[in-house]
Each structure stands twice: as C-alpha cells, then as structure tokens.
Amino acid sequence: MDASMYELHESIENRHWWFLGRRHIVSSVLQRWLPAGSRILEVGCGTGGNLTAFGQRYAVVGIDSSVDAVDRARRLTGLEVLHGTFPDDVPRFGSGFDAILLLDVLEHIEHDTDALLAGRTYLRPEGFLILTVPALPFLWSGHDVIFHHLRRYRRNELYLKLTKAGYCVRLLAYYNFFLLPPIITARLWKHVIGDTEPHSDFVMPKPWINRLLTKVFSSEALVLGRIPFPAGASLLAIAGQCSSDEVK
C-alpha cells in the first residue's frame, strides 16, 4: 500500500467500525482455536493495531513489506516486528508458529498460492493458518483500486487455492453478512452516478453510527462457524496441516 494508506490505518484502526468489528471476530476465532500463550505470526501487520490487541493473550510477532509500517508498528506496540515479504523475502524465525494470520493481505499478493505455501513452512504440525480476504468480485470498487487489491475472492476459489497449497480446510465462511445489503447498495449507487475515482471507504462516520455499525458487525462473532452465511463482503478461512489419514 501507499504510505498515505498506512497513515490512514494508523489514525483510524482503533476507532473505525470495520477494523474494530474484524478484530473482534478474529479474536473470537483465536480464542476458540488457540490456547493462551500460543505463538502467532501476523503477516502484513501494518501499523500494529492487531498486534497490540492479540498480544494481550498470545505471543505475537509481526511482519510487513513496508519499512514505514514496520517502524510505525514497532514504535506503537513495542513488539517484535520484522521487515519481509511473503513469499519471496521472509525473515528467519527461531521456531514454528501455532498460527499464522493473513488478515486482508492475500489479495495484495500476485502469487497468492505461493504465499500460502510459504506460510506452511512456518507452522507447527498442529498449527493453523487463519486468513480473511475481501469477497464477491461484483463488489469491486475504487476502494479495491486505491488499496492495490488484485482480486476479490469467491468461496470455491479460495478453497481450491488452500487445498492446492497442501492445507486441509477446517472452516471457510462468509462474514460481514449483516451489513452486506447497504454495502451492495452503496457500490451500485456509485456505479449509477458514475463515481469511478479510486478512493478509500474508510471514512469515519458520526460517532453514534460508528458505534452501531461496530456492534452489528461484531455480533457476527457469535454465529460465525456455527450458522453458515450464504454470502458476505468478506471470507474467513482456517486451515491446517493435513493428517496422514486426510492425505490418503
């Protein structure tokens, strides 16, 4: 991403409903799947908002391709944050991780299957890859352009890429379902009025609207993985190493 986008993230990632909601959902998933103290690597950690939150329960390490983001994250979190790029330029780590997080990162990587393969080499045998990506290609907009997204994923497409990279998928689910109707409406309206200029959707709404959207989005943590949503603006996947029985 451009440096200006990292500045934007730093200014709003602890306030904006989308960041807060996603963090709550991922935190809920982590608590279901990982015991406290587990070692976690967040790939594409940006300016470190997730590292601070997850670091209260887990041993977290961050990696980002932007030197500026790494400097910001180190300054803001005081945690271990390294410069590197999946899959081509990954720093050396002392030992394997219980989980690797790719939170809205995979869509930025040209060779996404190679990045998934790289992730496997850093997982412990019982570890998990936990990732989120933007979903539904018809939702493509100027927001995707300005953040240098290369794609939005379909559920089956992501499943096939995970299995091709050698993972066994434990959970693959749409989320951001409750807010999907207004998201679709907003995207369609922009097409109708000819608003095609790349710009970020991360604009702070009025405080009461932000609080409401945070609660609605965060509430999906209660049902995610238990009740399948038929669609959503995003996808969440949990995948692990395949056992010998699963390989057969």
pLDDT in tens, 136-157: 999 998 889 988 999 999 999 9
Residue 67 and residue 83 in contact, taking contact as beta carbons nearer than 8 Å: yes
The pLDDT value given to residue 242: 84
Domain residue spans of the chain: 3-241
The pLDDT value given to residue 233: 97
The pLDDT value given to residue 88: 79
40: which residues sit within 8 A by CB, 6+ positions away?
Answer: 30, 34, 54, 58, 59, 60, 61, 97, 98, 99, 100, 101
Taking residue 11's Cβ as centre, other Cβ atoms within 10 Å add up to 13
To 5 degrees, how large is the angle CA 80–CA 86–CA 89?
Answer: 80
Cis upstream peptide for 207 (omega within 30°): no
The long-range contacts involving 73-79, CB below 8 angstroms and separated by at least 24 positions, are: 73/45, 73/46, 73/47, 73/48, 74/48, 76/10, 76/47, 76/48, 76/52, 77/48, 77/51, 77/52, 79/48, 79/51, 79/52, 79/55
Tell me the two tokens of residue 127: 């570890």
The residue that leads in pLDDT, 121 or 165, is 165
Strands 234-241 and 167-175: antiparallel
- 40 pLDDT higher than 80: yes
- 241 pLDDT higher than 60: yes
pLDDT in tens, 210-224: 999 999 999 999 999
pLDDT class for 186, splitting at 50, 70, 90? confident
Tell me the two tokens of residue 61: 């390490």
- 202 pLDDT higher than 90: no
- 39 pLDDT higher than 70: yes
Helix (H, G, I), strand (E, B) or coil at 201: coil
pLDDT class for 86, splitting at 50, 70, 90? confident
pLDDT class for 6, splitting at 50, 70, 90? low
Residue 64 and residue 71 in contact, taking contact as beta carbons nearer than 8 Å: no
The residue that leads in pLDDT, 196 or 168, is 168
* Cα–Cα dist 194/214, whole Å: 29
pLDDT class for 60, splitting at 50, 70, 90? very high
Kindly report the CATH number that applies to the domain delimited by 3-241: 3.40.50.150
